[in-house]
Amino acid sequence: MTDETNVLEARDVTVRFNGQMVLRGFSMSLKAGRKAVLTGPSGCGKSTVLRCLLGFVTPESGTVLIDDTPLTAETVWNLRRRVAYVGQEPDLGGGVVREVLERPFHYRANASLRSNLQRAPEFLETFGLAPSLLDKEAGDLSGGEKQRVALVSALLLDRRIFLLDEITSALDPASKGAVAEYFRRRENVTVLFVAHDAERFSFADQVLSLRGPA
Amino acid sequence: MNHIVDIGAWELAAAYLLLTFPLAIILWYRIPMLGQTVISLVRMTVQLLLVGLYLQVIFQLNIVWLNAAWLLVMVAVADVSIVQSTSLRLRRIALPVSLALLAGTVVPLLLFVGLILQRSNLLDAQYAIPIGGMILGNCLRADIVGIRTFYEGIRAGEKPFLQSLADGALLHEATRPYIRKACQAALAPTVATMATIGLVSLPGMMTGVILGGASPVIAIKYQIAIMISIFSGTVITLALGFWLTSKTSFMAYGVLDRTIFRNAPKR
């Protein structure tokens, strides 16, 4: 894979839900190590773009490529292993934070990465959370704590591509800054942020504006 | 041991007198289920009369293919009943559910009749139909709870389900927590029944064997064998039900196909 290879690409993607157009001919591409922010008004299809890139939404037309490989029913299972995704208002499920962070390592795809869990306290501290949080019930966390735990969970998987959907919406300015600073420094990872406050990610190489399908 | 005492037509009619009490209570408290109760009582009577007459013929003929056909009819009726009790579209899951029910009923039934009762005719009407019916009835109850809990669980908890796919889970890994929860809900009644059986109530099969004139010792042996068969059949049906229905209920990328729900718009 060269630096000039597109690691994330959408070509003329159109998505319709129940007959209603959500995305019309959307295209984008992002090369390795680059950062992009996807902005636009609520309901314009920002989250749908991420869901398309993960194969959660099947486009009516167009192609999605990850690492230059078209996303298909056959390739999706392998390609998802290269991507980390943090959704809006993450649902961490039951159990204490330690169990939440351990969960993805039960999957065969991540079994060999289990030793990464040792880095959990370090990542928590990076985003202003105390390591003692590991023993706290996930259901008792605040919205901002949940967002940061979900982010830590994604980072522990050691992926090279990040799809991050409004991951700082419930954070205070200092924590937002910590998240932005972390990704600014990670030169080797490719990130697509969905954000209302694009200025937070001023270091991004691209700003993609969505206006909706109309 | 004595043979069972037959109930005459007038004596059976007298049993209906007992209904005076529940119907009076329903009327007195104006419980809004009088019509439903009467319809159910009439249906029960007519269905059992017809089935009784039909089974009488089947038992007398005792032809293997006819017995097998009757078991298939029972499975088909159970299948429709399961699908109607869930919020899923009949056309989408009827076949996988019926295959799961068939396997969950036939495997323990054949082992019961062949291995435990040592009958050379595995589909002997006297054994295959009542035992098959008991296993099937329990599979039906478990499947209604299991299938509903599984699919409703994924629909309601779509976020963590999709997150697990995004985290690299294969479909069977992503569905595992939902299968676990559905199995717990579906198996809990059978497990609880096994734990208290004989203490809280005398179970159906044991009662039937005793009424048929056998000793209680023979009856408990039948009961133990049927409980094990029911539990095994239930687990087989559930596991196959999840596996087979998931073939038609998830899209190629692992996302739940919401068009399997009756209240979702068709594609």
Q: What is the pLDDT of residues B1-32, one digit of tens each?
A: 567 788 998 999 999 999 999 999 999 999 99
* pLDDT confidence of residue B232: 96
Alpha carbon distance A10, B170 (integer Å): 24
pTM of the model: 0.86
User: Do B84 and B22 have their domain in common?
Assistant: no
Strand A20-31 to strand A6-17: parallel, antiparallel, or no bridges (unpaired)?
Answer: antiparallel
Residue B196 lies in a domain: yes
Check if A73 contacts B (Cβ < 8 Å).
yes
Same domain, B44 and B151: no
Q: Could you read off the pLDDT of A33-77 as tens digits, one per residue?
A: 999 999 988 888 899 999 999 999 999 999 999 999 999 999 999
Residue A179's domain is classified under what CATH number? Answer: 3.40.50.300
Residues 6+ apart with CB under 8 A from A136: A96, A97
Residue span of the structural domain in which B108 resides: 63-260
Cβ contact, residue pair A103, B252, below 8 Å: no
Task: Please name the residue of chain A whose CA is at the shortest distance from the CA of residue B159.
Answer: A91
- Stretch 154-173 of chain B: residues touching chain A, C-beta under 8 Å: 157, 159-160, 162-170, 173
Using the structure block, give the residue that is written with the tokens 């050379």: B120
How high is the pLDDT of residue B202? Answer: 75
**Gap between the Cα atoms of B152 and B148, Å rounded:** 6
Among partner residues A56, A93, A157, which is closest to B162 by beta-carbon distance?
Answer: A56
B265 in any annotated domain = no
Position B147 in a domain: yes
From B13, B46, B61, the end of a domain falls on B61
Write the CB contacts of B258 (distance below 8 Å, at least 6 apart in sequence).
Answer: B155, B264
Q: What are the residues facing B65 on neighbouring strands? A: none
Contact B253 A153 (CB under 8 A): no
B252 to chain A: closest CA residue = A73
By 3-state DSSP, what share of chain B in percent is helix, strand and coil, each rounded to 5? 80, 0, 20
Alpha-carbon span A117 to A122, nearest angstrom: 10
Domain count, chain A: 1
Clarify whether residues B46 and B157 are in a common domain: no
Report yes or no on B97 lying in a domain.
yes
Q: Which of residues 170 through 199 in chain A touch B, CB cutoff 8 A?
A: none
Is B170 found in the same domain as B74? yes
Give the sheet arrangement for strand A6-17, strand by strand. Answer: A20-31, A6-17, A61-66, A69-70
Domain that includes residue A145, residue range: 6-209
How many other CB atoms are found less than 10 A from the CB of residue A135?
Answer: 10
- The distance of Cα A25 from the centroid of its chain, to the nearest Å, equals 22
> For chain A, how many helices (H) and strands (E)?
6, 9
8 Å CB contact between A62 and A13: yes
User: Is the domain of B38 the same as that of B154?
Assistant: no
Give chain B's domain count.
Answer: 2
The length of chain A, given as a count of residues: 214
What integer pLDDT is reported at residue B193 of this predicted model? 85
One domain, residues B159 and B107: yes
Residue A61 lies in a domain: yes
The answer to whether position B267 is within a domain reads no
Same structural domain, B158 and B86: yes
**Please, what sign has the CA dihedral across residues A190, A110, A92, B144?**
positive
Task: Tell me, yes or no, whether B50 and B122 share the same domain.
Answer: no
Nearest-CA residue of chain B relative to A93? B160
Q: Are residues B92 and B30 in the same domain?
A: no
Residues of chain B with pLDDT under 50: none
Same domain, B113 and B201: yes
Quick one: tokens of A197?
């406050």
Neighbour-count burial of B173, counting CB atoms closer than 10 A to its CB (0-12 exposed, 13-18 middle, 19+ buried): middle
Is position A214 within any domain? no
Comparing CB atoms, the residue among B159, B168, B252 nearest residue A109 is: B168
* Res B156: pLDDT: 92
- As given in the structure block, the two tokens for residue A117 are 């869990």
In a domain, residue B266? The reply is no
Burial (0-12, 13-18, 19+ Cβ within 10 Å), A13: buried
Contact status, residue A34 vs residue A205, Cβ threshold 8 Å: yes
B102 domain residue, yes or no: yes
Q: Does B266 touch chain A (CB under 8 A)?
A: no
Closest CA of chain A from B185, distance in Å: 18
Look at residue A17 and tell me if it is in a domain. yes
Nearest CA to CA, how far is B250 from chain A (Å)? 11
Whether residues B45 and B159 share a domain: the answer is no
* Residue of B158, B163, B180 to mutate when probing chain A, most A C-beta within 10 A: B163
Whether A1 maps to a domain, the answer reads no
Q: Which residues of chain A, if any, have pLDDT below 70?
A: 1-3, 212-214
Last residue of a domain, one of B61, B85, B110: B61
CB-based contact A55 B254, cutoff 8 Å: yes
Q: Answer with the one of B34, B61, B88 that is the final residue of a domain.
A: B61
> Do residues B157 and B225 both lie within one domain?
yes
Q: Which two tokens stand for residue A176?
A: 């937002």
